[in-house]
Amino acid sequence: MAIRTGISLGSNLGNRLANLREARDMLLRLNPTEASFKQSSIYQTDPVGCPPNSPDFYNAVIEIDYIGTPHDLLSSVQGIEWHLGRIPTAERNAPRKIDLDILYFGDTVMDEDVLTLPHPRLTDRRFVLNPLADISPQLILPGDVSTVSEHLRKLDTDEPEPSLIQSMW
């Protein structure tokens, strides 16, 4: 049975738009044939929690159907990052060609060393909430009571508003 799954995409090195498109296309290959998917607009955002002078990010969110376990999806997502040239580094939040995060996996709630669902910082990040609100504003995450749009409206952060880069990509 397919599970609706949200994945955030970010890039702040190289051709950011091309990086997001290639990652999206690879993620869509995980989507069962004929299954629908949703994709947000792409936004330019300030780097959050990154080293000084890090370039701005392009961010988006897609929602796909996925058949498999959360760990299977994590393995696929990490494989896509590696294939697209993400280089492991000890520096936290270093600039990167591609960054993919599983935001939610249906109604799954889990807290493990390698994977926490829903993503633990999802509702604290404008650069995730903004694009997620594009595609699923009324989504209530497992274990939560507020919608994505309510979280975005109540967000208390110093993050500036993201800039719309492209709606259709």
What is the rounded distance in angstroms from the CA atom of residue 143 to the CA atom of residue 85? 35
Residue pointed to by tokens 């999806």 = 73
Q: Which of 99, 125, 126, 134 is catalytic?
A: 99
Distance CA 159, CA 169 (A): 24
96 part of the active site: yes
**Contact assessment for residue 161 and residue 126, using Cβ atoms and an 8 Å cutoff:** yes
Residue 65 is a catalytic residue? no
Question: Contact, 108 vs 71, CB < 8 A?
Answer: no
Please confirm, yes or no, whether 25 is among the known catalytic residues: no
Determine the Cα–Cα distance for residues 37 and 28; give it in Å rounded to an integer.
8
- Distance, CA of 136 to CA of 149 (rounded, Å): 8
Of 4, 16, 24, 96, which is the active-site residue?
96
Residue type, 139: L
The radius of gyration computed from the CA coordinates of the chain, to the nearest angstrom, equals 15
Residue 158 is among the residues annotated as catalytic for this protein: no
Query: Per the residue annotation, which of 46, 101, 124, 144 is the catalytic one?
Result: 101
Catalogue the active-site residues: 86, 96, 99, 101
